[in-house]
Chain A
Amino acid sequence: MNWDFSNTEELLKLCNENDMPISEVMINREMQLGETRRDTIIDRIEANLRVMNTAVDRPISEPHRSMGGLIGGEAKKLNELDESKAICGPAIHRAIVNALAVAETNASMGVIVAAPTAGSAGVLPAVLMSMYESYDISLDDMRRGLINAGAIGYIITRNGSVAGAEAGCQAEVGSASAMAASALVEMLGGTPEQCCDAASVALSNLLGLACDPVRGLVEVPCQTRNAIGAVGAYTAAELALAGVGPHIPLDEMIQITYDVGRSLPESLRETAKGGCAVAPSLCAECSREAAWQRARAHL
Chain B
Amino acid sequence: MANNYLGLFDVIGPVMVGPSSSHTSGAATIAWMARQIFSGTPVKAEFTLYGSFAETYKGHGTDRALIGGMLGYKSNDVRIRNAYYEARKNWLKVDFVVDKETHVSHPNTVDIVITGEDGHTLLIRGESIGGGRVRIRKINDIEVDFTGEYSTMIIGHQDVAGTVAYITTCLAGEDVNVATLKLFREGRGMKAVTVVETDSSISEELKEKILQYETVTSVDLIEI
Contacts and interface: CB of A to CB of B under 8 A. Distances in A.
* Chains A and B bind each other: yes
A116 B11 contact: yes
A109 B12 contact: no
Contacts of A260: none
A241 interface: no
Q: Is the interface of A mostly helix, strand, loop or mixed?
A: helix
A111 B13 contact: no
A207 B9 CA distance: 26
A113 B3 contact: no
A163 B130 contact: yes
B6 interface: yes
Contact of A299 (B2, B7, B59, B76): B59
A125 to B, nearest CB: 11
B29 interface: no
A34 B3 contact: yes
Contact of A147 (B6, B8, B17, B64): B8
Interface residues of B, number: 36
Contacts of A179: 11
| Most chain A beta-carbon neighbours within 10 Å: one of B19, B20, B24, B52 | B19
Interface in A90-136: 105-119, 121, 124
A118 B21 contact: yes
B78 A111 contact: yes
Contact of B58 (A33, A41, A67): A67
A40 B60 CA distance: 33
Chain A interface residue count: which class?
35 or more
B9 to A, nearest CB: 6
Contacts of A14: none
Contacts of A121: 18
Interface string A132-155: 000000000000001101110110
B18 A106 contact: yes
B59 A110 contact: no
Given A109-B61, A110-B81, A44 B18 contact: no
A68 B80 contact: no
Contact of B11 (A67, A157, A219): A157
5 smallest A-B Cβ distances: which pairs?
A: A106-B18, A68-B59, A153-B11, A109-B81, A217-B59
Interface of B: 2-3, 5-21, 24-25, 52, 55-56, 58-61, 64, 76, 78, 80-81, 130-132
Interface of A: 26, 29-30, 33-35, 41, 44-45, 47-48, 51, 66-69, 105-119, 121, 124, 146-147, 149-151, 153-154, 157-158, 162-163, 165, 179, 215-219, 288, 292, 295-296, 299
Given A68-B60, A114-B131, 20 more contacts: A26-B8, A33-B3, A33-B5, A33-B7, A34-B5, A35-B3, A45-B12, A66-B19, A109-B18, A111-B16, A112-B15, A112-B18, A114-B16, A115-B12, A118-B18, A149-B11, A163-B131, A216-B56, A295-B59, A296-B58
